[in-house]
Amino acid sequence: METVRHSCGCERKYRLNGPAHSVRRQIEHREAMPCPKCKKTAEEAMFVARCEESALANGEMGLPELTGTAAQVAYAESIRRDGVRDALRMVNADQEQDVIDTLSRATAARWWIDNKELMFGAWTAKAKADFGA
């Protein structure tokens, strides 16, 4: 068992096999990275920050709050931000408010999550189909 001190400062033991030069490379590789636990924590923090940033941007555009569980709402906010941005790219400036009004009808976080694969103008068409023109 080899003890490795990761870049985050955590120490962890690994069972490393192979020739000495291979073991040394494995240790150096692991030392250059955070431990798996710290890496996951950092990724989760980045995700939460992106979701919060998306929620603020959506609020500034005048979009209503989403309904659903806290986790659904957080995830759906980032999907909605990207969806609205994509839909707005497909229209002229004088049509932007119509797009925002149409997409404002989709207030369920689940709707955004279920339709996350849509692209560009499909967001508006789907919302019109589901919620009426």
Cβ-Cβ contacts under 8 Å for 4 (sequence gap 6 or more): 11, 12, 13, 14, 27, 30, 31
- The pLDDT score that the predictor gives to residue 55 is 85
* Residue-wise pLDDT tens digits, 9-52: 999 999 998 999 999 999 999 999 999 999 999 999 998 888 88
Rounded CA separation 83/41 (Å):
27
Rounded CA separation 35/13 (Å):
11
Predicted TM-score of the model (pTM): 0.67
For residue 86, the one-letter residue type is: D
